[in-house]
Copies of this chain bind each other. A is one copy, B any other.
Amino acid sequence: MSLTPYFEDQAVNVQKLCEGCEKCNQRSELFQVLSEDEPKIINKDRYSVRFRPGEVILKQGTHATSFISIIEGFAKMYIEGHHDRNLVLDFVMPWKLVGSPGIHLTKKYMYTVVAIQETLVCFLNGNQFNQVMALNSRFAELYIRMCSGNYGRSLERMVSLAQKQMHGRIADALIYLSEDIFGQNRVDSAISRQDLADYTAMSKDSAIRILKEFERDNIVGLEGGTIEILDPDRLHSISMNG
């Protein structure tokens, strides 16, 4: 496939968006186990694209050919469900690999991924990915571990959504976001009330109500969109008993 000069320039620009995979792979437990040659297979058709806030990175139902990995920025992945409501599955920070169970099955993405902040995304060809799994069993093992983690987390969320009531679900969300996603005692204002409601499967109004209640009880502090976790212990206790 030879490129015209114009497109060659474009290709160079794309390349410039990140500094190649060497550094990325160091960040990823998964890619660290690859031999010297194996990344070349995956990198053959690799490309990266920059998305603005609100733009769709992957669309539920479209043909699933690529894994993606976020290099910088922040995104959410959600299922477009019934009655025009979305169920947010997860928020995606850099270095997390996102595929979709569909890549191995129906070849359709099972969820939509949308950029929340400006986001640089790397697209990895699924077939080349599978090729490497066939070559390197340690890589396949880690991939299975990753899938198991996704599945396990989805089971936990299923229980939370099905059996806890609103206070418990909001507590779960705040704990996950503050501890696992942002890694501080706060939830960034990039997460809107609607996002929180879509993550906890309730109406936006209800989510706001509970947050305000938590504020009244000095469990969280609300200031300009960001949520400060003031009393993590009580939040954990609400999560357990909710």
Interface residues in chain A, defined as those with a beta carbon under 8 Å from any beta carbon in chain B: 79, 81-83, 85, 87, 89, 101-105, 110-111, 130, 133-135, 137, 140-141, 143-145, 147-152, 154-155, 157-159, 161-164, 168, 201, 242
Contact = CB atoms under 8 A, between A and B. Distances in A.
Contacts of A133: 137, 140-141, 144
Nearest to A130: B141
A162 B81 contact: yes
22 contacts: A79-B159, A81-B162, A83-B163, A85-B163, A87-B158, A105-B145, A105-B148, A105-B149, A110-B152, A130-B141, A133-B137, A133-B140, A133-B144, A134-B140, A134-B141, A144-B144, A147-B147, A147-B151, A150-B151, A158-B158, A161-B161, A162-B162
Nearest to A161: B162
Contacts of A81: 159, 162-163
Contacts of A144: 104, 133, 140, 143-144, 147
Contacts of A137: 133-135, 137, 140
Contacts of A135: 137
Contacts of A105: 145, 148-149, 152
A242 B152 CA distance: 27
A101 B157 contact: no
Contacts of A163: 81-83, 85, 87, 201
A159 B82 contact: yes
Contacts of A130: 141
Contact of A101 (B101, B134, B148): B148
Nearest to A137: B134
Contacts of A159: 79, 81-82, 87
A126 to B, nearest CB: 12
B79 A111 contact: no
A211 to B, nearest CB: 19
Given A87-B163, A141-B134, A149 B101 contact: yes
A133 B143 CA distance: 12
Contacts of A148: 101-105, 147
Nearest to A131: B137
